[in-house]
Structure formats: structure tokens, C-alpha cells
Chains A and B, each alone.
Chain A
Amino acid sequence: MKEKTPFLKRPGVQTALASLLCAVLGILIGFIVLLLMNPAHAAEGMWAILKNFFKYSNNTKNLMYYFGSTLVKSVPVILCAEAILFAYKAGLFNIGAAGQYTVGILACVYTAVALHWNWFFALLAAIVAGAVWGLLGGIVKAFFNVNEVIAGIMLNWIGLYLTNIVLGRETVMDTTKSETYEIVKVNPSGTLPGFLQGLFGGNQYMTIAIPLAVIIAILIKIVLNKTTFGYELKATGYNKEAARYAGMNAKRNIVLTLVISGAISGLAAGSYYLTGIEHFKIASSVPGMGFNGIAVAFLGGLDPIGAIVAGLFVEYITLGGQYLNTNYFNPQVADLMVSIIIYLCGFVLFIKHIFNKNKASVGAVNANAVTDADAAANEAAKSAIEKTKTPDTGAEKEV
């Protein structure tokens, strides 16, 4: 750590450093896991994960093709992360993103395969479905005081079973393969238009979803930082009561936040499944995309642009699992590494605290600024939780 440079004291830089530290530590612990499983081949395994698609570096076409695939697969997780961080800025932990993503799959696959809708309307259907799922969560949160985490989890499972029922029909599900029909074959107009496919080794899954994800990230950044609406959302997140006192409609903001967050999650599903790279199979557990989105959002320092970088990194590691030699390891080791990294993200606050302790003597003013930001984040978490409680009664009462 180089000290005494003002650059290092900026909150943004510190967040980036803390996230980087989490990633490195996660990879290190992953390496230890590999060592425990098979000491002789651990280094080779780690190298396979890290080297990833650069394995094809002698063949530019293949290299670009697999690079493209990584990009395509990063899009949904990045968008889910955007959805989650957007809600988190407003003090809401949208764990329901996983369910909103799932009903997004339901809507876009059903409309594209069974109803032969054009890609634009199928994508729109996914967005609307996600938004509706977000709306349900928002209503029970705002008007019935249900904790959004619990409501989100319940809605995740309801969404999953609903999707299983609808997409399990014979009009959508190819029963011989037990997965949904290929959109390209049934309804060519249902897939998203291509994007720079030639550059990426003719990767047919490269679609406008990629620039779209970047645009959404920038839009969120602008909305959060430059608009009155974004300011209101953040104010509601920091302190709901104060926001209400200042004349903001907290309930409306809660519902609106979750609707927008749900719409982005739905878009994530649409921008992945409408490329045709993935087909839906009857699932017994909620797709992990929404949960990985939480990891990416936090790893990206809860910044819309940071989430893009973090999403690419997480997907890089996850896909790296496929390059492991299955004789020695199983690909889930990569998932384990990702989950260790997200666990470590919980310590980011602490890591930043350490950074600032070391530099307290150098730049007290800047350090304070960071502490204030942290305090604000804490406050946001607190108020999110306090919303679920009523003020009176004490524990000793019922003794």
C-alpha cells in the first residue's frame, strides 16, 4: 500500500482497493481448497481457472469467440447487480431479484417460443413481468410492512414454481430434451439483433444486450446522482422518516424503486435467454443469477460502473471452473471461490476502516469524509430494518 498520495484516500479508490483485496483473498482461499482436494494438481487447476479462455491465445478467432461468450454470460449478472444496487441505494435489499429474473425468463421464453412474438416485444414482456414481481414486493413492503427480504424470498419460490408450470407446457418445452425449444429455430425474429458478431469470431450470441447493459449502468448512475428522483430515493434510503418530513412520499418511492429494480432484473433475463445461448429447464431451486447479482453489486462497491467490472470478473472465474480437469476437481470449486469472495465483501467496511486508521495522521479530513459515507451506509441499513418495527413494547413485558 503506497501511502501519502491523496489518490489513495478517495472513497471510490478505497472501495476499489477493498474489493480487489476481497477478490485476491477469495482466489487465495480457493487455491487452498484446491490444495486440500488434490495437492499435486492444485497449481495446474488454479492456472486453468485464471488462464481461462486465454488458453486459445494462439488462435485469435477462438479467443475472441470465447471472450464474446464471457461477455454474453456476464450481461445478466451485471444487470441483476444493477437492479440490486439500485434498490440498495434506496435502503431496500432486493433479494427478490432472483424471482424477478425467473418470471422474466417465463415471460420472454413463453412469448418468443409459444406466441412467436418479435424480440422487442418479448424483451418488453420480460421487463414487465419483472416489474410486476417487483411491484408485488413493493406493495407488501410499503403498505403491509412486510420485510422486503422475506417477501422477496417467498416471491422467488412462487415465481419459480409458476415458471416451471408455464414453461413445462408442451408448446414451449421440448419434452424429448426436457428443455425449452430453441428460439432461433421456432421463431427467428425472437432473438435479439446481433452486435459486432464478426469481430468476436462469428459468435452468434453477441447481441445488442451487451451495449444495452452498459447503457443501463450509465443511466442508473445518472439517475442516482444527477436527478431529483435519485436524490429522493437515496434520502429515503438514508432515513425514511427524515425523507417523509422533507415532503417525500416514502411509500411511493419504495414501490417505485422495487418496480424499477424488478424491471431491470426482468431485462436481465430477457437479454440472456433471447440470445438463444441458454434454454430453460425445469428447476428445483431458484436460478442463482439474482444471488450472484448481490455478490457482484457488493464486489463492485455498489457503483453501477463498478458492477460491470465486478460482473465480468465473477463470470470469468465461474466460467473458469469449466477449464478444470474434472479428473482431479469438480467445476463447482469456481462457485465456491465466488461465494468466498462475496462473504469477504462483508468485511469491506472493516478493511476501509483499517485503511483510514493508517492514514488518520496524514489526511484527517479525507478520512472523515469516508467515515461519513460509511455512517450513511450504516444508517441506510438501519432504517431499512427499522421499517419493519413498531416503536412500543419491551421485552420484559411478557415475562
Chain B
Amino acid sequence: MLLLLQYTLIFSSVLILVALGGMFSERSGIINLGLEGIMVFGAMAGAMVMVLLPESTPKAVLIILTLAASAIMGMLASLFIAVACINFKADQTLIGTAVNMLATASVTVIVKAFNTKRSGGTDFSAKLDYVSGHNKFVFNAGKLQLSWFIIVAAVLLVCATVLFYKTKFALRLRACGEHPQAADSVGINVFKMRYAGVLMSGFLAGIGGIIYIAAANSTWHFNYGVAGAGFLALAVMIFGQWKPERIAWAAVLFAIFKSLSNVYMGIGFLSALPITGTVYNMFPYIVSLLVLVFTSGKSRAPKAEGIPYDKGSR
């Protein structure tokens, strides 16, 4: 049961951060289907930092550098989306899909090249080991093994909620997602706001990526990407109706189901059931589809999302 709690905390941190990222992007009017790809980029950068830093690096430095690398890489990756969708008015769904493909392909290439070079041509795998880095993130609270990642996620959630409800900036951002022409008419720079939204999604999804691969694992095969976590976060965001506090609750719900597939073996009555792990793997997706079926009827998505801003159109 303790294990279930641990996994739930980790997965909900990931889903909260990435879904919040998606929320900021969509509130500004850009559908970010590339969250999955941004997570992959962020995860790679963070893992690289953990691999490359010497073992003797102090805990705090490692934690800060890893998170910073992931966040910056995530923001850089989100520029792929921002430039194409904001400046060049590209199809946002297509670009998002392309970024996902681009992420897995390029990260596989980079990690493989890195491993090949480092091992002197004996290791061609797309795998990174970061045991010592992973261990530095872990601390114990009583019997519970926690990770600094969870604290970071909680802090970011609070910041995002305050930012979203209490600042002028967020109000302007949201105006751009609802009616960009109206926002423009009162002097808000729609392009800038949309850039801000997409970059924030890059920042959050990048950190989400490193948490996903490093909070519960100490090694990762990058040719698998992040196994659909970014898409799950999108479902969380829709279930959370594009509002931070609801997203947090939705994320916890999804995380419980996701964790069950990882830990059902250790829970007496569940492992006794004649259900394989694969079935548990299906659960979060089935649940999110069902949830969407029941909630999408009164869905309240930002009105102008997915539509490139054209100053001339009415």
C-alpha cells in the first residue's frame, strides 16, 4: 500500500505539471499536442546532466542543475511549436504530432551517439543510467520514500494556481485564448502572450519529463519516449476543464490507476485476481476515455484554441 502511495505521488506530480503546461498553452490559444515530445526532450537533458555530473556533486547543486536543464530544454523544444504555429500559422495538430516524432527520433539518435562515443564503440544502446543522480533526489519521511521531485511539483502547482487566478498576466493570456481580436484591440500583444503560453508549457512539461523517468527509475531506454504520459496529461487537462485546481484532482485520480499497473503485484487481493499487468496498463486509458465521454458534453475549452491569429479576420 505504501508503494501504491509512492507511485501515485510520483505519477500525479508528472501529470499535474504536464497538464498545467498544456493548460497554459491552450489558454493562450495554442493546442499543444507535442507535450509528449517536449517531455522526452526535457527528460533527456535532465538525465544527461545527472550522468555527466561527477559523483561528488553536492545534492542541492545536482537537483537544481537537473531541473534547470530539463526546464530549459523543454522550453527550447516548445519553440518548435511556437515558431511554427504562431509565426507561420501551421496546423497545430500536425506540428504537435511532428514534434512527438522528432523528439523520440532525435533523442534516440543523440543518446545512441553519446553512448557509442563514451564507450568507445561497444555500447550502441539508447539507454542512460543515472543511479547516483536518482539517489540524490530521494529522501525518507518516516517509512515513506519520497523524492524532491514531488516537492518541486507541489511548489510549482501552488505557483501556477496563484499565477493563473491572481495576476494580470494570466488574465491577458486567457483573453488571447478566448478572443484574440478583442485582446488585441485593448493593446495586448497576442503573439507575445501565445509565445508565453507555449514556453510555459515547455518549462512545465520539461520538468514533468525528468520526473517521469527519474523519480521511480534509475535507468531509461530513450527509444520508448515517455510511453504516452504526455497524452495522458492532455486527458487530465480536459478532465480538469482547463483549471489548475481541478487538474490537480484529476491528475491524482489518473495517477492511482496508472500506479496500480506498476504495483498490483505487491497488493495481496489484487495479485490474487486473474488479471495480468497488461490489463492494468489499459486502465488509465479506458478510464480517461470514459471520463471524457461523460464530461466532454459540457466541455469548456478556450474558444480560440487551434486557430492561428490573423489580425485581419473578424
- Chain B, 56-95, contact with A by CB distance < 8 Å: what is the 0/1 string? 0000000000000000000000001000110011110111
User: A158 and B282 in contact (CB under 8 A), knowing A336-B102, A339-B98?
Assistant: yes
Q: How far is the CA of A141 from the CA of B116 in the complex (A)?
A: 46
What chain A residues lie within 8 Å of B228 (beta carbons)?
153, 157, 285-286
CB of A150 within 8 A of CB of B243, answer no
Contact partner, A346, options B91, B121, B124, B294, Cβ 8 Å: B91
Q: Are A330 and B306 in contact, with the CB atoms below 8 A?
A: no
- Contacting pair A144 B109 (CB below 8 A): no
Task: Collect the chain B residues with CB atoms within 8 Å of residue A168's CB.
Answer: 278
Assess A342 versus B296: contact at CB under 8 Å? Given A347-B84, A347-B88, A398-B243. Answer: no
State in angstroms the CA–CA spacing of A339 and B37 once bound together.
12
Closest residue on chain B to residue A380 by CB atoms: B91
- Least distance between B89 CB and chain A CB atoms (Å): 7
Determine whether the beta carbon of A395 is less than 8 Å from that of B177: yes
Contact of A332 among B98, B109, B293, B296 (CB under 8 A): B109
Of residues B93, B177, B288, B308, which shows the largest number of chain A Cβ atoms within 10 Å of its Cβ? Answer: B93
Contacts of B106 in A (CB 8 A): 336, 339
> Are the C-beta atoms of A161 and B94 separated by less than 8 Å?
no
Is B51 among interface residues, defined by CB-CB distance under 8 A? no
Q: Is the CB of B282 within 8 A of A291?
A: no
A157, A164, A291, A382, most chain B CB atoms within 10 A: A157
Q: Which of B155-163, B231-239, B263-271 is the contact stretch?
A: B231-239
Contact mask A328-364 → B, CB, 8 Å, 1/0?
0010110110111011011101100000000000000
Q: Which residues of B contact A350 (CB under 8 A)?
A: 88-90
Q: How far is the CB of B125 from chain A (nearest CB, A)?
A: 10
Decide if B276 is an interface residue (CB 8 Å cutoff). Answer: yes
Q: A336–B126 Cα gap in the complex (Å)?
A: 14
A20 contacts partner chain B, Cβ-Cβ < 8 Å: no
Interface flag for A95 (CB, 8 Å) = yes
Q: From A43-51, A121-129, A384-392, give the one contacting chain B.
A: A384-392
| A175 → B minimal CB distance (Å) | 15
* A284 contacts B by Cβ under 8 Å: yes
Q: B98 near A342 (CB under 8 angstroms)?
A: yes
B234 touches A150 (CB 8 A): yes
**A161 contact set on B, CB distance < 8 A:** 278-279, 281-282, 285
Q: Is A155 on the interface with B (CB-CB < 8 A)?
A: yes
Interface string of A123-152 (1 = CB under 8 A from B): 000000000000000001000111101110
| A151 with B279: CB separation less than 8 A | no
Q: A147 touching B112 by the CB < 8 A rule?
A: no
Q: What A residues does B302 contact at CB under 8 A? A: 395
Asked whether, in the complex, the Cβ of B292 is within 8 Å of the Cβ of A151, the reply is yes
The CB with the most chain A CB atoms within 10 A, among B105, B225, B228, B301, is that of B105
For residue B234, which residue of chain A has the nearest CB? A150
Cross-chain contact B299 with A395 (CB below 8 angstroms): no
A285 — which chain B residues lie within 8 A by C-beta?
224-225, 227-228
Residues of B within 8 A of A333 (CB): 109
Q: Contacts A140-B292, A158-B285, A399-B165; is A165 near B276 (CB within 8 Å)?
A: yes
Q: Is B300's CB within 8 Å of the partner chain A?
A: yes
Across the interface, do A336 and B109 meet the contact criterion of CB distance under 8 Å? yes
Let me know if B109 and A330 touch, CB within 8 A. Answer: yes
Given contacts A333-B109, A399-B171, contact A144 B97 (CB under 8 A): no
Asked if residues A164 and B278 are in contact (CB atoms below 8 Å), the reply is yes
Which range contains the number of B residues in contact with the other chain? 35 or more
Say whether A154 contacts B90, CB under 8 Å: no
- Do B306 and A382 touch across chains, with their CB atoms under 8 A apart? yes
Chain B, interface SS category:
helix
Residues of chain A from 60 to 111 with CB closer than 8 A to chain B in the complex: 93, 95
Chain B residues closer than 8 Å to A144, beta-carbon distance: 292-294, 296-297
Do residues B89 and A349 form an inter-chain contact, with CB atoms below 8 A?
Answer: yes
- Say whether B128 faces chain A, with CB atoms less than 8 Å apart: no
What's the minimum C-beta distance from A164 to chain B, rounded to whole angstroms?
5
Closest to B307 in A: A382
B33 interface residue per 8 A CB criterion: yes
Instruction: Known A153-B231, A395-B302, A399-B165; judge A93-B101 contact (CB<8 A).
Output: no
Residue of B with least CB distance to A345:
B94
Q: Mark A320-333, 1 if CB is under 8 A from B, else 0.
A: 00000011001011
For residue B95, give the distance in angstroms from its CB to the closest CB of chain A. Answer: 4
- Given the known inter-chain contacts A389-B301, A390-B299, A390-B300, please indicate yes or no for A150 contacting B235, CB distance below 8 A: yes
Please tell me if A247 contacts chain B, counting CB pairs below 8 Å: no
Asked whether A150 and B109 contact (CB < 8 A) given A162-B282, A385-B305, the answer is no
Q: Are B296 and A291 in contact (CB under 8 A)?
A: no
Residue of B nearest to A168 (CB): B278
User: Would you call A291 and B101 a contact (CB within 8 A)?
Assistant: yes
Minimum Cβ distance to chain A for residue B168 (Å): 11
> Which of chain A's residues has its CB closest to B305's CB?
A385
Chain A contacts of B196 at CB under 8 A?
Answer: none
Checking A150, A339, A343, A389 against B84 with a beta-carbon cut-off of 8 angstroms, the contacting residue is: A343
Cα-based distance from A336 to B223 in the complex (angstroms): 12
Q: Residue on A with the closest CB to B93?
A: A93
CA–CA, A346 to B99, complex, Å? 11
Can you name 10 A-B residue pairings with CB atoms under 8 Å? A95-B97, A140-B289, A155-B285, A161-B279, A291-B97, A291-B101, A332-B112, A345-B98, A347-B84, A381-B93
16 further contact pairs, Cβ within 8 A, besides A330-B116, A335-B101: A150-B292, A154-B285, A157-B228, A158-B285, A161-B279, A286-B228, A294-B94, A295-B101, A327-B121, A332-B108, A339-B102, A340-B102, A343-B102, A347-B84, A382-B306, A398-B243
Measuring CB to CB, which residues of chain B are less than 8 angstroms from any residue of chain A?
Answer: 27, 31, 33, 80, 84-85, 88-91, 93-95, 97-102, 105-106, 108-109, 112-113, 116, 121, 124, 165, 171, 174-175, 177-178, 223-225, 227-228, 231, 234-235, 238, 243, 276, 278-279, 281-282, 285-286, 288-289, 292-294, 296-303, 305-308
